[in-house]
Amino acid sequence: MVVPAKVEAHNHLHGVWVPACAGTAQAVKRILMIDLNETHDPKRASWIDSANAPGCDFPIQNLPFGIFRPPVGEPRGGVAIGDRVLDVAAMADFLNGLSARAAADCKAPHLNRMMELGPHAWSALRRDLSRLLSTESSDWRHRIEPHLTPMADAELFRPIDVPNFTDFYASVFHATNAGRMFRPDNPLMPNYKYVPVAYHSRASSVRVSGTPVVRPKGQIKPGDAPAPFYAPCRALDYELELGIVVGVRSELGTPVPVGSAGNSIFGFCLLNDWSARDIQAWEYQPLGPFLGKNFATTISPWIVTSEALAPYHTQAYRRPEGDPAPLPYLTDSADQERGGIAIELSAYILTAKMREQGLEPFRLSHSPFATIYWTVAQMIAHHTSNGCNLEIGDLLGSGTVSGPDKSGWGSLLELSARGREPIELPSGETRGFIEDGDEIVFRGRCEREGLARIGFGECRGVVLPAN
Ligand code: CA
């Protein structure tokens, strides 16, 4: 038997892909400003047929990382490809150099060790995995196939060890909608257009998709009640957010400049910032969210890497005439030109009755992430502007992603006008807020003419009655 040679270390100048059908010359120019390579080539196909199916979230151009357990063995790092999960550490023997080391570091119950190696290692590993899984390497199939697990048989875990979780508030449409309910005359605080506002949330209760959420109990004080009482939340909500995973630590005392902040990001996931609106309304002044938020946060199991998302960058949200310009430490021309990301996020609900009736999840909203007021780089630059340090695995939430009109509002608080205008569901039920047995499902995808469609998979959570 001839043993195939190891995959050669990749030459970064080799195989630069030029999009053939990306529309206007301007669009091509804009795409080429970003560092694309053969892993983004829409013509590249995989010898795993399911990865080539139209509408698949995980084509060979995506290759998101997660933690999975095959039917036999311990949790370990994997990459989603079609309807399979590739055991990445098992690929180390086929690879060389930094790429082999990164693959070997995936033999862990979280991705933090691999992230520690830095962006060059992530990129080298991505290029080699892309090549191994491509039709160009079909003759490797018999060696790789034993290390593929059907996704249906894989148990998925929280992909990262999360030292810190910060939740931003970066959608001006959400901030305006939410603010109007609590402060009708003054919905947007005077600092909003200057400060990428956030609060420090709770890392200990971040869970992977599929983990049930127990309805929290807390202090509630309805407007007409003379005093608060302790009871199960009556206004449980979701928040449709994008999660940002930090992959490069920063030093205490050293701000990360906005122009290079994007290099700190390993990747992105879907994030549900479950919110108890009644607990929140009573507790939030003067120090902000606390027990109304920290009982649960759900993230999707697959981290779509920054590199996979490179072709979907677009211009940052254009501030309307009359809005102040961001302060200089939040301003970078390249970030303004391509700091937005064209991700479509959707939220769905599946009630217990809908499950009994065999109905599909009902779409509540779909929001374009590119309408977010602050770019991800501005969030990171601001977070570190006082010298606060970021750690590997830190999770940043974008804040609820709401688009300009109701079809894109990313929470029930907004969609049902704080429960006053309940939403009608195909089962004949209505919802102002989430009831026990309801499951909330998020999906996300990127599509652009001339490029492969990539997706985020799902972020799901079913609500159980209070203990
Ligand atoms: Ca939030």
The whole-number average pLDDT for the span 247-270 is 98
Tell me: pLDDT of 237 over 70: yes
**Local confidence band at 34 (pLDDT 50, 70, 90 cut-offs):** low
Per-residue model confidence (pLDDT) at position 347: 98
Dump pLDDT digits (tens) for 85-123: 999 999 999 999 999 999 999 999 999 999 999 999 999
Active-site residue identified among 10, 40, 174, 383: 174
Tell me: pLDDT of 24 over 50: no
Calculate how far, in angstroms, residue 169's C-alpha sits from the geometric centre of ligand 1: 7
**Local confidence band at 183 (pLDDT 50, 70, 90 cut-offs):** confident
Per-residue model confidence (pLDDT) at position 22: 43
The top-level CATH class assigned to 165-464 is alpha beta
Calculate how far, in angstroms, residue 451's C-alpha sits from the geometric centre of ligand 1: 31
Q: What are the residue boundaries of the structural domains of the chain, listed by start?
A: 25-157, 165-464
Tell me: pLDDT of 23 over 70: no
Catalytic residue flag (residue 174)? yes
Per-residue model confidence (pLDDT) at position 6: 45
Percent of the chain with pLDDT over 70: 93
Calculate how far, in angstroms, residue 181's C-alpha sits from the geometric centre of ligand 1: 16
The whole-number average pLDDT for the span 387-402 is 98
Per-residue model confidence (pLDDT) at position 367: 95
Per-residue model confidence (pLDDT) at position 181: 85
Calculate how far, in angstroms, residue 107's C-alpha sits from the geometric centre of ligand 1: 32
Per-residue model confidence (pLDDT) at position 452: 95
Per-residue model confidence (pLDDT) at position 16: 40
Dump pLDDT digits (tens) for 55-64: 999 999 999 9
Highest mean pLDDT among 22-31, 173-182, 261-270: 261-270
Calculate how far, in angstroms, residue 420's C-alpha sits from the geometric centre of ligand 1: 21
Dump pLDDT digits (tens) for 288-326: 999 999 999 999 999 999 999 999 999 999 999 999 999
Mean pLDDT of the chain: 93
Per-chain residues with Cβ under 5 A from ion ligand 1: 167, 239, 273
Calculate how far, in angstroms, residue 110's C-alpha sits from the geometric centre of ligand 1: 24
Tell me: pLDDT of 442 over 80: yes
Residue 79 · residue 48 · CB < 8 Å: no
Calculate how far, in angstroms, residue 323's C-alpha sits from the geometric centre of ligand 1: 24
Answer yes or no: CATH 2.30.30.230 is held by domain 25-157: yes
pTM of the predicted model as reported, rounded to 2 decimal places: 0.93
